[in-house]
Structure 1
Amino acid sequence: MSSKAQHVVVISVPVQGHINPMLQFSKRLASKGVRVTILAPAYLTTSLQTMYGGLIQIECISEDDKPPHGIDELLEWFETIVFRSFRNLVDKMEGSGCPLKVVVYDAVLPWAQDLAQNHGLKGAAFFTQSCAVCGMYYLMYSGKLKVSTTENSSVSLPSIMPVMGLQDLPSFFIDTQSYPSLSKISINQSMNFQKAEWLLFNSFDNLEKEVVEWISHEAAIKTIGPTIPSMYLDKGLKDDKDYGMSLFKPNSESCIKWLDSRETSSVVYVSFGSLASLGEKQMEELAWGLMRSNCYFLWVVRTSEDSKVPKDFKSKTSEKGLIVNWCPQLDVLAHPATGCFMTHCGWNSTLEALSLGVPMVGMPQWSDQPTNAKYIMDVWETGIRVKGGEDGIVTREEIEGCIREVMFGEKGNILKNNALKWRELAKEAVDEGGTTDKNIDEFLSQLIK
């Protein structure tokens, strides 16, 4: 396969949970000789670097280091700067002797397909959520799924999906008013099913086999995940030890040193990602639930959330816990001391835990997280989900019980064994000749043709 003449441009929503998987896919392409240019605003370019002997280049598309804060304003601003700079980029690459061939774009930016076509390029939509969730969005978009908010009602879904109640659906199906723009964006990414030449999913065949087959009847899709650094999977990409970008500075040395001093599988790792924000009452319940579990814990509390931690909590738990503002998540999940991952069930975090074989306690907040938690508990059987009260607050007693069940209970052993099974299947998918590896090769061969 002669892929060296191929040149791909990558456009991702400029937030960590979207950039990182697309960056990892870029590394896979570059390892096969494809030249990749990643478009990024100025405030991200300092976190990214040229890789693979120059095959991955970063193209700065704005001089503004202060992007808008609101998600709606951020997306509108990003669309404007991409459109403004894209023509010059195409001309620049044409003059370099390595013209662009295809735009790999974040599926929540369907306008990028129009941008590609307007410049004579092909488009590949990259979905950063599970095949199951994207399939549900597609049903909603095409009018085949209606959701009633009647209490205790279940939802009519394809038989290849588990039976779901309202609490298991993506939050945008139920609460369309709180985040109207995000709700519209999430569902409208299904436009790509008709518009894009390729649909790429950050998943792997064995993980969602029946759903992949079902979606394949609607459109040609390729699973190209899990998109995490090669060192944790097949070890096939040289020096691929981390994502290569972080919006927060991790407390790497202190985290690993602290874990090194703990026994195998004795630590609960707690992190709710880069965006989730818990209320003060929920933070209080979480804190005392961790203390009541009597487990060692490593808890990521972003600087913006720090004031919500009970004032006397750190002093009372100094012998049992470590609280940091950010940490190297993959290193923590892969560490022998980590026995459980308490997570919001974002798709990246879910894939990381599955790929590294760590059982989970799911505490989903919004978006696709409730559905991911449903699959974690009832389909992949690698974790349990906390139950909230009538006010939506998960109590300290519930948190304590769930942690202890995973860490010490009989069910915990079953979850750990299942997690190890998925870890092996994830490695198998990305290894040479695996389903993900073959799908990437097929994508490249179609690109060359």
Structure 2
Amino acid sequence: MENSHVMVIPYPAHGHVIPLMELSSCLLKHGFQITFVNMEFNHQSVMDILALKEDVGDGIHLVSVPDGLGSEEERKQPGKISRAILQTMPGKVEELIEDINGSERRINCVIADQSIGWALEIAEKHGIKRAAFCPAAAALLVLGFSIPKLIADGVIDQDGTPVKSQTIKLSPDMPPMNTKNFVWACIGNIDAQRNIFELMIRNNESIKLTDWLLCNSSYELEPAAFAMAPNIKPIGPFLAPQNSKPDDSDSSYLKWLNQQAPQSVIYVAFGSFTIFDAAQLQELALGLELTSRPFIWVVQSDMNNAYPEGFQERIAGRGQMVDWANQQKILSHPSIACFISHCGWNSTIEGLSNGVPFLCWPYFADQFFNQSYICEYWGVGLGLERDGRGIIRRDEIRNKVEQVVGIDKYKTTSMALKEILMNSIRETGGSNKNMKDFVEWLND
């Protein structure tokens, strides 16, 4: 079927949107029409992401649906966004599908983020082919699929609450995970925990409605996870574009990077959800200062007044604080020595794909398990340890930077894993083969 029309529905968060936008770009090159669905509150940010992609042009049709949110302040609150996704988005998406299917551009397939299973249910109701996409590690899906066994084994109760804090393995060959860091259990709010847990159980059922369950990973990264759930098909890595931000020049920090010695710069970035109090931000700043190494730190502009007194003057010339940076472009730069990261899956994939060692600073959700992969399974980084008050101290930051940069094995292992990961998307790679098979299925 030529020019099949594919509707792509991400969970409306930055880390979920980027890989699905990359998948959409790939499908566009195979001749598919793409309708990419956003909610009002994140529509502009998705338009900005699309503007970075010079090879796409007008080929991806962006559509926003009402989110039911009022003020801009509400649009910044994850809890209210989550409620809007469940209460408002399904009905609006179904109306959109009905409107499109009333035209000559009927939808042939819906590709939905696996965390919004209702979209797959709507597609089934309308007789549309369905595929689910996981923007996180395959291990996250395996954890969700393991919920009934975790309950039966007494690891968690019926609400998902860990019976006790303990370290377990989902299989002998998978990295360990602490039960207190289960993706639904590390939110802090018991109501939010229950909601996420119930949603994961529902999504497990919705996934059964799909013909394809895709994942932004590779067989080589997670062999044990794919062995446990062979229905998951990796098609990654998908990487964010290296183009510049459309309304801002990145030339200043890139020129600065070009002046630094190879493998000398610390790159620091924590994603959009990580929140630091003033004490932790000051320890991080002083830790970077203690390293005596050049660094580039992506930090929210509203935190500019929270730096230690005299910090900006003391690090002038060797420290760059920016409120936005093209992460893929930075990580691919030869001057980068290590990546201090929250260990979100997109950042993890981007660091691995560029052969950059990690210092791990996980915040919530799947980030703790990603740290286990990085430190204990792949051996490409170290974790940063908190003190008795839950603070990562300046000396810990300095010491771990010196270890991960000073010990050759971290860079050597990172570069070897980069080559393995890149092979997966080359002509004979497993991810490339899965992608070809998926495109063939879409064309049937």
Task: Mark yes or no: TM-score above 0.5.
Answer: yes
Secondary structure of the residue aligned to 2:167 is coil
CA distance in 2, matches of 1:417, 1:60: 45
SS for the counterpart of 2:432 is helix
Given candidates 52, 77, 80, the residue that maps to 1:73 is: 80
Q: CA deviation at 1:436?
A: 1.3
Provide the C-alpha distance between the structure 1 equivalents of 2:322 and 2:232, rounded to a whole number of angstroms. Answer: 39
Counterparts of 2:378 and 2:275 in 1: how far apart (Å)? 27
Structure 1 Cα separation of the partners of residues 302 and 99 of structure 2:
42
The Cα of 1:163 is off from its aligned counterpart by 3.4
Displacement of 1:210 in angstroms is 2.0
Residue 312 of structure 1 deviates from its aligned partner by 2.4
User: Deviation of residue 251 (structure 1)?
Assistant: 5.7
Q: Secondary structure at 2:168's aligned position in 1?
A: coil
User: What is the aligned partner in structure 1 of residue 159 from structure 2?
Assistant: none
**TM-score calculated relative to the size of structure 2:** 0.88
Q: Aligned partners of 1:149, 1:400: CA distance in 2, in Å? A: 37
Q: Alignment partner for residue 198 of structure 1, among 204, 212, 224? A: 212
**Could you tell me how far apart the structure 2 residues matched to 1:53 and 1:392 are?**
47
In the TM superposition, residue 52 of structure 1 has moved relative to its aligned partner by: 3.6
Cα deviation for residue 334 of structure 1 reads 0.6
- Counterpart in 1 of 2:237? 226
1:210 corresponding residue in structure 2: 224
Q: Determine the C-alpha separation between the residues in 1 that align with 2:353 and 2:90.
A: 33
DSSP-derived class of the 1:10 partner: strand
Match of 1:340 among 338, 345, 350: 338
1:170 equivalenced with 2:182 (yes/no): yes
Give the deviation of 1:91 after TM superposition.
Answer: 3.5
Residue 131 (structure 1) aligns with: 138
- Partner residue of 2:103? 95
Q: Secondary structure at the match of 2:136?
A: coil
Alpha-carbon distance in 2 for matches of 1:394, 1:183:
29
- Please report how far the alpha carbon of residue 61 of structure 1 lies from its aligned counterpart in structure 2 after TM superposition: 2.6
| Cross-structure match for 2:428 | 433
Listed one character per residue, the Cα deviations across residues 53-94 of structure 1 (whole Å, up to 9, x for unaligned) are 644221233498946332232133245145225334443355
Distance 1:203 1:196 in 2: 19
Residue pairs, 1:136-175, within 5 angstroms: 136-140=143-147, 143=151, 146-147=155-156, 148=162, 150=164, 153-166=166-179, 169-173=181-185
Q: Which amino acid aligns with 2:435?
A: I
Deviation at residue 308 of structure 1 after TM alignment: 3.2
Per the alignment, residue 236 of structure 1 pairs with none
8 Å Cα contact 1:90/1:99 also seen in 2: no
State the partner residue of 2:389.
391
Change (3 A) 1:245 1:288: closer
Pair 1:123–1:17, CA change in 2 (3 A): same
Contact 2:10-2:113 at 8 Å conserved across structures: yes
Aligned to 1:58: 62
Cα distance, 1:8–1:351 mapped onto 2, change above 3 Å:
same
Find the aligned partners of 2:411 and 2:201 in 1 and give their Cα distance.
34
CA 1:269–1:380 in 2, change beyond 3 Å: closer, same or farther? Answer: same
Match of 1:8 in 2: 6
SS in 2 for 1:270: strand
Cα offsets for 1:399-420 (capped at 9, x unmatched): 1110111122x2xx11111111
Residues 85-135 of structure 1 show CA distances to partners (whole Å, capped at 9, x for unaligned) of 533444335523x32111111111111111111222122111111011221
Which of 71, 76, 83 matches 2:91? 83
Given that 1:90 and 1:100 are in contact with CA atoms closer than 8 Å, whether structure 2 keeps it comes out as no
Q: How far apart are 1:322 and its partner, in Å? A: 0.8
Counterpart code for 2:172: S
Judging changes above 3 Å, is the alpha-carbon distance between structure 1 residues 187 and 340 closer, same or farther for their aligned structure 2 residues?
farther
Between the aligned partners of 2:441 and 2:188, the Cα distance in structure 1 is 39
Distance 2:200 2:312 in 1: 38
Give the residue type in structure 2 aligned to 1:133. L
Q: Does 1:415 align with 2:422?
A: no
Contact 2:100 2:107 in 1 (8 A): no
Task: Verify the 8 A CA contact 1:251 1:325 in the aligned structure 2.
Answer: no
Deviation at 1:37, TM superposition (A): 0.9
Deviates more, 1:342-351 or 1:153-162: 153-162
How far apart in 2 are the matches of 1:332 and 1:187? 38
Question: Whole-Å Cα distance in 2 between the matches of residues 75 and 40 of structure 1?
Answer: 14
Moved more, 35-44 or 264-273: 35-44
Change (3 A) 1:245 1:192: farther
Residue 117 (1) aligns with residue 124 (2): yes
**1:44 maps to amino acid:** H
1:232 maps to what in 2? none
Relative to structure 1, the CA distance from residue 76 to residue 293 in structure 2 (aligned partners, 3 Å threshold; closer, same or farther) is same
Mapped to 2, the partners of 1:372 and 1:85 lie a distance apart of: 32
Rounded Cα–Cα distance in structure 1 between residues aligned with 2:386 and 2:248: 31
CA–CA separation in structure 1 for the residues paired with 2:111 and 2:297? 35
**Any idea what SS the aligned residue of 1:172 has?**
coil
SS where residue 103 of structure 2 aligns?
helix
Matches within 5 A, 1:359-374: 359-374=357-372
Name structure 2 gaps, 5 residues minimum.
Answer: 157-161
Per-residue CA deviations over 1:131-183 (Å, capped at 9, x if unaligned) read 112211221256356245646x322521121234457x335335563543445
Local SS of the residue matching 2:229: helix
Separation (CA, whole Å) in 2 of partners of 1:186 and 1:281:
35
Match of 1:235 in 2: none
C-alpha deviations, 1:295-331, integer Å up to 9, x for none? 1110111124334332422112113211111111111
Question: How many Å separate the matches in 2 of 1:140 and 1:41?
Answer: 30
Q: CA RMSD in A?
A: 2.6
Structure 1 regions of 5+ residues with no counterpart?
230-239
SS in 2 for 1:68: helix
1:37 aligns to what SS in structure 2? strand
TM-score if structure 1 supplies the norm length?
0.87
User: Does the CA contact (< 8 Å) of 2:343 and 2:368 recur in 1?
Assistant: yes
Which of 432, 442, 449 aligns to 2:437? It is 442
User: Structure 1 residues 187, 323: CA separation in 2 closer, same or farther (over 3 Å shift)?
Assistant: farther
Task: Specify the alignment match of 1:233 in structure 2.
Answer: none
Letter in 2 for 1:215: A
Size of the alignment, in residue pairs? 425
CA distance in 1: counterparts of 2:412 and 2:177, whole angstroms: 25
